[in-house]
Amino acid sequence: MRAFDYEALPGRVIFGSGASRERLGDELDRLNAQRVMVFATDRELALAEELVAPFRDRVALVYGNVLPHVPAEVATDARAAAREHTVDALLSIGGGSTTGTAKIVALTTALPVVAVPTTYAGSEMTPVWGMTTDARKETGIDRKVLPVSVVYDPELVQTLPRELAVSSALNAMAHCVEALWTPKANPVTSLQALDGAAALARGLRATDSSTSCSELLYGAYLAGAAFAVAGSGLHHKICHALGGGFNLPHAETHAVVLPHVLAFNESSEAISDEMTRLAEALSGSSASQALASLYDEVGAPRALSQVGLKEEHLEEAADIVVAKLPIDNPRQVDRARIEDILRNAYEGIL
């Protein structure tokens, strides 16, 4: 057994079908929250109103100005709204963009966040915040933004269109895979990552919707938990550069980039044991073969050119990633490698 450090993160997790309708009020009671700021996009607004109906008198405002990658202007506006309404708790109902907006308010107010995720992005498990200023995404780590309670309800992800569910689940898969090779990975995060990857693969292959949603949401929880402690590496740095710099869709970008970073890292001796265990978790002869089969089966997105990147952006994208070098990675990374990964991901050629 290798030596390791493990800094476990706090937080309550409630998982179950119907939990968002039955348990949310109790979570706010635990915080003694009387003036709650609810975050939801227009799309999630009706759902949010339904979930908060039993404690509507404790909702100070419903904030709907949620945009991908949390633009700095949105952060300023949301913080001003929280001050103006003297809120005492933040309740996010939605995907990673919604959770991210609640987190950016928590960063400066230290208000507690309760999160009800409706995608598989996993932000609700992490102390990571993100904000985009002038097309550059900045991220940071602060315990203040880590939700105190997370209510996972598989019924809420039933409405995800299949294409988005696939991409979002592969975004979670990317958390699992990268959590296996970061410097902060430890045996516990690896267990979570491997079990998460297996649950995500089962969920993606399941034909029954309720089984699929449960497995995917459970896998997304484990993925977020592993990623929260193990941290991010080359894969996430490339995706952040693409998301923040060119406004590409988050989940699809992760789904496209993952097989390319995996193909690059897989041959590293330093992670051979982890890659063998990942291949087993995904039921394949090698990790990348297993992932490729899964991608074929579920019709995953394959090329950055199909998700909005223009060829003339490749050089600028490489510049943004290169500016983050040196990147801790099982194999040494330089500009040429980054350019190869971006070009291959752009064309969808493995």
Tell me which of 119, 265, 288, 329 binds ligand NAD, using CB under 6 A.
Answer: 119
| Residue 330 in contact with ligand NAD, rule: CB under 6 A | no
> Buried b / exposed e across 126-161, counting CB within 10 Å, b at 16+?
bbbbbbbeeeebeeeeeeebbbbbbbbbbbbbeebe
Cβ proximity to ligand NAD, 171 vs 265, nearer residue = 171
Cβ proximity to ligand NAD, 129 vs 277, nearer residue = 129
Considering the complex, what minimum distance in angstroms separates the CB of residue 69 from ligand NAD? 4
Tell me which of 33, 89, 93, 121 binds ligand NAD, using CB under 6 A.
Answer: 121
| Residue 285 in contact with ligand NAD, rule: CB under 6 A | no
| Residue 235 in contact with ligand NAD, rule: CB under 6 A | no
Please tell me the distance from the alpha carbon of residue 299 to that of residue 98, in angstroms, as a whole number: 27
Q: Would you state the structure tokens that stand for residue 285, as one six-digit string? A: 């002869």
Cβ contact 122:172 at 8 Å: yes
With CB atoms as reference, the residue minimizing the distance to ligand NAD is: 96
* Nearest-5° Cα angle at 321, 316 to 325: 135
Q: Cis bond leading into 259, ω under 30°?
A: no
| Residue 279 in contact with ligand NAD, rule: CB under 6 A | no
Reduce the DSSP state of residue 197 to 3 states and report it. Answer: helix
| Residue 301 in contact with ligand NAD, rule: CB under 6 A | no
Please tell me the distance from the alpha carbon of residue 312 to that of residue 315, in angstroms, as a whole number: 7
| Residue 320 in contact with ligand NAD, rule: CB under 6 A | no
Cβ proximity to ligand NAD, 159 vs 209, nearer residue = 159
Please tell me the distance from the alpha carbon of residue 101 to that of residue 82, in angstroms, as a whole number: 12
Number of residues that bind ligand NAD (CB under 6 A): 28
Considering the complex, what minimum distance in angstroms separates the CB of residue 252 from ligand NAD? 9
Phi, psi of 71 (to 5 degrees): -60, 145
* Nearest-5° Cα angle at 31, 28 to 35: 65
Cβ contact 222:195 at 8 Å: yes
Site string for ligand NAD, 20-59 (x = CB under 6 A): ---------------------x-xx---------------
Considering the complex, what minimum distance in angstroms separates the CB of residue 119 from ligand NAD? 3
Beta bridge partners of 71: 132
Structure-token match 């990790």, residue found: 287
Interface with ligand NAD (CB under 6 A): 41, 43-44, 68-69, 94-98, 100, 118-119, 121-123, 126, 128, 130, 156-157, 159-160, 164, 168, 171, 250-251
